[in-house]
Amino acid sequence: MAQVEVPRNFKLLEELDAGEKGAGDGTISWGLAKDDDNTFSQWQCTIIGPSRTNFEGRIYNLSIHTGENYPREKPTVRFNTRVKMTCVNDKGEVSSKHLDELRNWQTNSSIKNVLMGIRRAMSLKENKLSQPPDGVFS
């Protein structure tokens, strides 16, 4: 049986609705960066660092860009807040090679899945790295 492809804007409207209703567990949030973005391309997200990690007590701001072929193509994800993680380069870009939720992207994946995956990665032993002082990437 063939899978029905949901149009891009329907999928993104669904994701926006979930973000506005607080569909996460309170440790992640997402929404449009600008209310008048009728292309649903630029998203502003936050992750609260998990307790008992080097990320505890910090709020991390991220930008997600959903291209015109989303959800067939994965979004691009970038930290705006300085962070040191194995899946994040020196410019704050999240590597799809090092984050399962991006590497294994499927059309039913979502922004929420990506944010939850990043937060989970913050608890991994390879990310027990000393964190840079608070600040933003230039």
Q: Which residues contact 12 (CB under 8 A, 6 or more apart)?
A: 40, 66, 70
Mean pLDDT of 37-64: 96
**Where does 51-104 show beta strands of DSSP type E?**
59-65, 76-79
Average pLDDT over residues 65-70: 97
Domains of the chain plus CATH, in order, are 8-127 (3.10.110.10)
Give me the pLDDT at residue 133, please.
Answer: 87
Kindly state the percentage of the chain with pLDDT values over 90.
86
Give pLDDT, residue 1.
56
Q: pLDDT tens digits for 84-116?
A: 999 999 999 999 999 999 999 999 999 999 999
97: left (phi over 0), alpha (psi -120 to 50) or beta: alpha
Residue 46 pLDDT > 80, yes or no?
Answer: yes
